[in-house]
Chains A and B, each alone.
Chain A
């Protein structure tokens, strides 16, 4: 069986498909999140060094993973949109950006909540914290650029180029910050040689990461549906939708 992938590359056909997919991903996200929270709060053992406060990493680490992963996916969609001149890819990139920024922010907030009992400070200029902060700036720049350009085609392409420039720069920024950090302070906790994690801890983290992943897909699809309607408001299929009242 051959699936006609390109059939769904136009907003008109993708809009109903996205509508059908959203509940699946949303329910998956909810179920995985409940399972993940149960494993991480009820089953996972208390850490003998960090006590109960370590449990924040079940939210923190997956959020940090997602924040970086979404940026790469976003840049990938942006590149496809720029290279193939595909409208929908650019819309996907635009739809992913706010979710990525939210996860970055969540990682920063949970990181500082975790840092207070562990390091005794809300904020430490640790390499990972700093590069996460810079990632937030990159997301904000992308969103600010897109929203300040009125012509959607130009906004898409300018945003795509910025995302690609960001992807090239992210490793350079990360290593420069890491090096700066090792030069300036030697006393932060090194998580690289952390004691071996219990299986249940890893399981909780993985479940939460999957839940976040599914949530991202659902949220991005919802957002991309709005973007499609807004951009294609003069197209016939949108008019039919609004007259017929069916999704």
Chain B
């Protein structure tokens, strides 16, 4: 009985994940928009500040992390709004499987579509900022550990602002203050490795943030969805 239940849960989870990934693949321009946003925002800073490699490499950790933060944030509105409009979300709320579980599948799909490409592209931008090799590696690690937190916390904001007027700007106001710890630890990890220190502590804290939000954020998102859809 118990194994049967968990099988149903797994298959429901996989179905939602596959569906969201398929939808994203069919609308590839959405992925590209997030990526280009990240690239453009991080290319604007050298134009505003000047091309000195020393200056650029000292601001690189913060700038790249803020750009990743913003890129993750602008894609949040897409997380639930299409499902909300066409009624899929209501079916998910009615499904016998726990909503928090289905929500994790949606968040994972969102991260794979919007978070992972940014992580993979970041070292390229880091090169433009004259980051040394080991700092580039730490940048990838920190984004890999930190961007899931952004998607998880962002999902709460996206769920709360579902169907609310001006939701795009509102979500920024709600979510960005909650992103601060990830920004501090993520940019801190890169800066530490630049200064020849170990980035271990920062990365551990980032991983801790991710794990904590993995436990709490789906529950909060599910509660927020029930509030927004009822």
Binding site for B on A (CB under 8 A): 134, 137-138, 140-141, 144-145, 148-149, 154, 157-158, 161-162, 164-166, 168-169, 172-173, 176-177, 179-180, 183
What is the CA–CA distance of A96 and B165 in the complex, to the nearest angstrom?
A: 24
Known: A145-B161, A165-B156, A176-B184. A137 touches B173 (CB 8 A): yes
Q: Does B228 contact A (CB under 8 A)?
A: yes
What is the CA–CA distance of A165 and B188 in the complex, to the nearest angstrom?
A: 24
Give chain B residues whose Cβ lies under 8 Å from the Cβ of A158. Answer: 160, 224, 227-228
What is the CA–CA distance of A104 and B104 in the complex, to the nearest angstrom?
A: 35
Shortest CB distance B180–A (Å): 5
Give chain A residues whose Cβ lies under 8 Å from the Cβ of B166. Answer: 148
Give chain B residues whose Cβ lies under 8 Å from the Cβ of A157. Answer: 227
Q: Which of A140, A145, A161, A179 contacts B184 (CB 8 A)?
A: A179
Shortest CB distance A51–B (Å): 35
Tell me whether A165 and B178 are in contact (CB under 8 A). yes
Tell me whether A177 and B180 are in contact (CB under 8 A). yes
Q: Which of B178, B188, B209, B224 contacts A161 (CB 8 A)?
A: B224
Q: Does B48 contact A (CB under 8 A)?
A: no
Give chain A residues whose Cβ lies under 8 Å from the Cβ of B188. Answer: 180, 183
Report the nearest B residue to A183, measured CB to CB: B188
Tell me whether A141 and B228 are in contact (CB under 8 A). no
Tell me whether A134 and B180 are in contact (CB under 8 A). yes
Shortest CB distance A176–B (Å): 4
Interface string of B169-202 (1 = CB under 8 A from A): 0100110111011001100100000000000000
Tell me whether A148 and B160 are in contact (CB under 8 A). no
Tell me whether B220 and A165 are in contact (CB under 8 A). yes
Which residues 198-230 of B have a CB within 8 angstroms of A?
205, 209, 212, 216, 220, 223-224, 227-228, 230
Q: Does B49 contact A (CB under 8 A)?
A: no
Knowing that A144-B174, A154-B230, A176-B184 touch, tell me 5 more A-B residue pairs with CB under 8 angstroms. Answer: A141-B173, A148-B161, A161-B227, A162-B174, A173-B177
Give chain A residues whose Cβ lies under 8 Å from the Cβ of B223. Answer: 161
Shortest CB distance B168–A (Å): 11
Give chain B residues whose Cβ lies under 8 Å from the Cβ of A168. Answer: 216
Known: A157-B227, A158-B227, A161-B224. A141 touches B177 (CB 8 A): yes
Tell me whether A148 and B164 are in contact (CB under 8 A). yes
What is the CA–CA distance of A169 and B216 in the complex, to the nearest angstrom?
A: 11
Tell me whether B177 and A137 are in contact (CB under 8 A). yes
Q: Which of B164, B180, B184 contacts A149 (CB 8 A)?
A: B164
Give chain B residues whose Cβ lies under 8 Å from the Cβ of A169. Answer: 177-178, 181
Give chain A residues whose Cβ lies under 8 Å from the Cβ of B167. Answer: 148
Tell me whether A162 and B216 are in contact (CB under 8 A). no
Residue with the greatest number of chain A CB neighbours at <10 A, chosen from B167, B184, B209, B230: B184
Shortest CB distance A90–B (Å): 12
